[in-house]
Amino acid sequence: MKTTIYYYTGTGNSLWVARTLGKAIGEAEIVSISDWMKEKKPISSECIGIIFPVHMWGVPSAVIKFISEFKAFSPQYLFAVAVNAGQVANTLVQLKNICKKGGLTLAAGYEIIMPSNYIPWGGAELEEEQKLKFEAAGRKLSTIAHTINNMESRQVEKGPLWQRILFTAIYKLSFPRVPKMDSDFWADEKCNQCEICCKVCPAENITMAEGKPAWHHHCEQCFACLQWCPKVAIQYGKKTSAYARYHQPEIQLKDIIKAEHK
């Protein structure tokens, strides 16, 4: 069975999950959603996976756009993995409904907990805490790989009822505002005009203007620009200059740049 895993990533968590799951499955092609949206090559795999980060307790707009293009294809088995920091909420139920509207059946949906990269709420977790999460994620991905290889249908995973009600309401309120939330990004005096922030942005939302990065209000709030900045020059609001940065330690900058600028 040919399996293709499509991933969307900013700081590498979802790419790491895609690679780890691909190895556990045995034979799986790993494709960036950002790449695919530029080229839109035909999809012929019998088994398709979608791996993405939870944004604002829901599905990122880039993944919604991908599925709208993807609906013309009918894989035998479609699964998803929502990467989050501990609150998957109603994300996979939302994704299942989006797929259904597009004529697709989401056979299974899983959550994987990884270290948070949402720096407005604090800096990177301690390395030991990160390691424990990676180990737990690896174990769960091995189990998921078994269900995928057997093409098993499973109920999508979801958070407790209160979380689904509250966070879904927040998602609906915040979703239209996300593109312009980049107004709080800025670059301090350490910026050396390396343009890495432009190259890692999956939304292609950043250009250089007068020697500093400029954000153009179609942000996804993935924080790739801030987390990958080699000079720690990009900030968000007033507090992030004091916070440690995070990106998945096994994912290299070249992996992200290749995915976004193939």
pLDDT in tens, 102-118: 899 999 999 999 999 99
Mean pLDDT of 200-221: 96
Q: Given 145, 171, 197, which residue is the final one in a domain?
A: 171
pLDDT of residue 261: 56
Same domain, 182 and 128: no
Can you give the residue range of the structural domain that contains 239?
178-260
Same domain, 164 and 137: yes
Residues 186 and 167 in one domain: no
Task: In whole angstroms, give the CA distance from residue 208 to residue 199.
Answer: 11
Distance CA 79, CA 106 (A): 6
Whether 64 and 44 share a structural domain:
yes
128 and 163 assigned to the same domain: yes
Q: Exposed (0-12), middle (13-18) or buried (19+): which is 150, by Cβ within 10 Å?
A: exposed
C-beta separation of 262 from 205 below 8 A? no
- Report d(CA 1, CA 3) in Å as an integer: 6
**Which stretch of 74-78, 131-135, 216-220, 249-253 has the lowest confidence by average pLDDT?**
74-78
From 131, 151, 171, the end of a domain falls on 171
Q: How many domains does the chain have?
A: 2
pLDDT of residue 255: 95
pLDDT of residue 260: 63
Reported as a pLDDT band with limits 50, 70 and 90, residue 72 is low
Q: Are 228 and 196 in contact (CB under 8 A)?
A: yes
124 shares a domain with 97: yes
Shared-domain flag, residues 59 and 154: yes
